[in-house]
Amino acid sequence: MTMLLTILSVVSLLMPASFHHTQENKVERAECLRPFYEKLDRGKQPVRILHLGDSHVRGHVFSVVARRQLEEAWGSAAVEPQEISYRTTALATETGKAGLVYHAIGINGARYAHFNTPAYLEKVKELQPDLIVLSFGTNEAQGTYSEAVHREEMGALVEALRKQCSAVQILLTTPPGAYRTLRIRHRRNGKTYYTYQRQANPNTPKVCAVLRSYAEENGLPVWDLYAIVGGQQYGLRNWTSAGMMRKDRIHYTDAGYTLMGRLLAEALIKARETNDKK
């Protein structure tokens, strides 16, 4: 394990060779996760992750792949074996033994505000997470983007989660990126017609910048998936050239979500190694 982690700390072994201008796969401000890793290191009780997000999480591939990878690394005795598909829940069934428990709840079309309700906050409290992973931003970037609204909704959810679970650590993740479809109006021979053109959503870099800024201001760790896979210039090119985006150019194929899940797990494993060295 030590040799593997040493290798992973230098370069991601998971990134496809076709991906260009990628960055190191890591959790920034990983030291903020030390209480989570210390509890994991003690090995005396279940340690829980709760992954909340939008349709990328709801698809039960991204989060479930991360779950399986982390169970393999940190112990699966804390949960009952279960098959998970789009039609099932992605909430784990606990055994009470020590090990990793990884729950996931995703909502199609969700923004941060969708989880800031009494019902969802009560569910979070019931699950007693030690670490909450928040994966939003794709829907914030759709349509007219408001930095003020984004920051307000993100901050409100973070504070609400902290009130529900006072000792919880929170990890923010950036969205992977998406295209948007433009409708272009034309006039010819007195008639109007439209053509449609896809372009990289220009709001995604803005969403990521606000998310990173908020994380820095509030001392939160962040996993910048958008930058890791190539950023504004190369990210979407990398995903599409590898055939990992669906036809709507917003969602990803199972192969794409599998890569995301493996990268998230790898980053969390590396973050544990970083904390162990300090």
Beta bridge partners of residue 180, listed in sequence order: 199
DSSP code, position 83: -
Q: Which element (helix H / strand E) includes 199?
A: strand 191-200
- HSE, CB side, 13 Å, CA atoms: give it for residue 50: 19
Per-residue pLDDT tens listing for the chain (278 residues): 443 444 344 457 899 999 999 999 999 999 999 999 999 999 999 999 999 999 999 999 999 999 999 999 999 999 999 999 999 999 999 999 999 999 999 999 999 999 999 999 999 999 999 999 999 999 999 989 999 999 999 999 999 999 999 999 999 999 999 999 888 788 888 888 787 888 999 999 999 999 999 999 999 999 999 999 999 999 999 999 999 999 999 999 999 999 999 999 999 999 999 887 76
Backbone angles phi, psi at 97, to 5 degrees: -85, 165
Q: What distances in angstroms separate CA 190 from CA 104, 183, 195, 231, 240, one per listed residue? A: 54, 19, 16, 43, 38
Sign, Cα dihedral of 33, 36, 37, 38: positive
What the block records as the tokens of 238 is 């990398």
Contacts of 234 (CB under 8 A, 6+ apart): 19, 20, 21, 22
Are 86 and 59 in contact, with CB atoms under 8 Å apart?
A: yes
At residue 121, the 3 state secondary structure works out as: helix
- pTM of this structure: 0.92
What the block records as the tokens of 268 is 């969390």
> Per residue, what are the HEC states of 202-262?
CHHHHHHHHHHHHHHHCCCCEECHHHHCCHHHHHHHHHHHCCCECCCCCCECHHHHHHHHH
